[in-house]
Amino acid sequence: MATDRAPAVSPPGIPRWLQPLLPPLTALLIAAVVGDLLILTFGQSPREVFRLLIEGTWGNAYGLGQVLYKATTLICTGLAVALGIRAGMFNIGAEGQLALGGFAAAAIGLLLPAGTPALVAIPVCVAAACAGGSAGAAVPGVLKARFGASEVIVTIMMNFIIAALLNWAVATQLNVAESLHTPEIHAGAVPRLAAVSALFSGSAANFTILFALGAAVFTGWWLFRTRAGYELRAAGLQPDAAEYGGIRVGSVWLRTMLLSGALAGLGGVNYVLGYKQYYEEGFAAGAGYLGIAVALVGRNHPAGVVISALLFATLSQGALAVNALVPKQMVDVLTAIVIIAVATAVPEVERLLRAVRGKTA
């Protein structure tokens, strides 16, 4: 019905490179308008607020470092979600997997003796984080592969189960009195970027960002240059056809889920090894759910994920910068608007593009 509708606008010949960028750009435009309205309800000038937002993020060393720090976690969770979607699965469990990864890194870091050289300790702790994330994703992965259980439902439920489990572990097993965090690790700390360059002084940005970028490169290579990646994408596009073509879709799903969990778990390294040196309850703070937005705006492509992680990190850090003028929660509203706008704009804009192509062809 609606697909036959004549397009409201018929731009003649949109450049090919621009077409995949149109939906996210449309969405950002909508979000900017909503943002203006919210700022106006608070009686502030949108221009002033946006100026402060940019100044407080990319305009100074601390702000820039904080953006990079926040982007690091988001790259990891964004990649985790994107990889799942490429295989036709919705990993909503990145939030729990991230927390579990961070906890695993902190727990292993505590087990290592104090003098362990960084070259040994860091890889061990990073591996622990990935394994922790994978463990959290294994439950939905196995249940999906074996019983066809909806990964959406299972990952949501797992988020709550993991939260309760970690709450119990930190409250009764591994806590520092009067706090919600584990003791500091003895070895495995990842150095801060500020240690090598004054450009980031004072910020939490650390070398985990290199792991995150490495993970993005790895994900791109895995997805588009390996046989496993081909099978993954085939299973995502058309599982029945993939199965008919000799791909064991169930095991592709399980493998993807484990890898996705490992990527989300890697994000835990950023906070635990790179920033605080301990696991603290609630450190994930929605970064797992935000990964969905990151993946969506990044069109599930590793390069897109990195860019959109920077965008959302800027918004999140910028929120603190403008808090004096408008409540920082405005950014949560804007993030949600971006997600809804992308989710609606993608099918809508693609339909319009198809209609345009149909006319010119």
Q: Which residues bind other proteins (CB under 8 A)?
A: 1-3, 38, 41-42, 90, 92, 139, 143, 146-147, 149-150, 152-154, 156-158, 160-161, 164-165, 167-168, 171-172, 286, 289, 292-293, 296, 327, 329-333, 335-337, 339-340, 343-344, 346-348
- The smaller minimum CB distance to other proteins, of residues 2 and 114, is found at 2
Give me the least distance between CB of 189 and other proteins, in Å please: 29
Give me the least distance between CB of 180 and other proteins, in Å please: 13
Give me the least distance between CB of 47 and other proteins, in Å please: 20
The Cβ of residue 45 has, within 10 Å, a number of other Cβ atoms equal to: 12
Give me the least distance between CB of 39 and other proteins, in Å please: 11
Quick check: helix, strand or coil at residue 341? helix
Give me the least distance between CB of 15 and other proteins, in Å please: 25
- Write the DSSP assignment of 124-188 as a string of letters: HHHHHHHHHHHHHHHHHHHHHHHH---HHHHHHHHHHHHHHHHHHIIIIISPPTTSSBPPPPSS-
Give me the least distance between CB of 2 and other proteins, in Å please: 7
| Upper half-sphere CA count for residue 180 (Cβ side, 13 Å) | 7
Given a contact cutoff of 8 angstroms between Cβ atoms, the answer to whether 188 and 122 are in contact is yes
- The smaller minimum CB distance to other proteins, of residues 87 and 209, is found at 87
Helix 151-168, helix 118-147: angle, nearest 10 = 140
Separation between Cα atoms, residue 283 and residue 276, nearest integer Å: 10
The Cβ of residue 299 has, within 10 Å, a number of other Cβ atoms equal to: 19
Quick check: helix, strand or coil at residue 327? coil
- The smaller minimum CB distance to other proteins, of residues 172 and 360, is found at 172
- The smaller minimum CB distance to other proteins, of residues 3 and 360, is found at 3
- The smaller minimum CB distance to other proteins, of residues 135 and 331, is found at 331
- The smaller minimum CB distance to other proteins, of residues 194 and 295, is found at 295
The tokens describing 229, both together, are: 């990646």
Which residues lie below 8 Å from residue 19, measured CB to CB, with a gap of 6+? 353
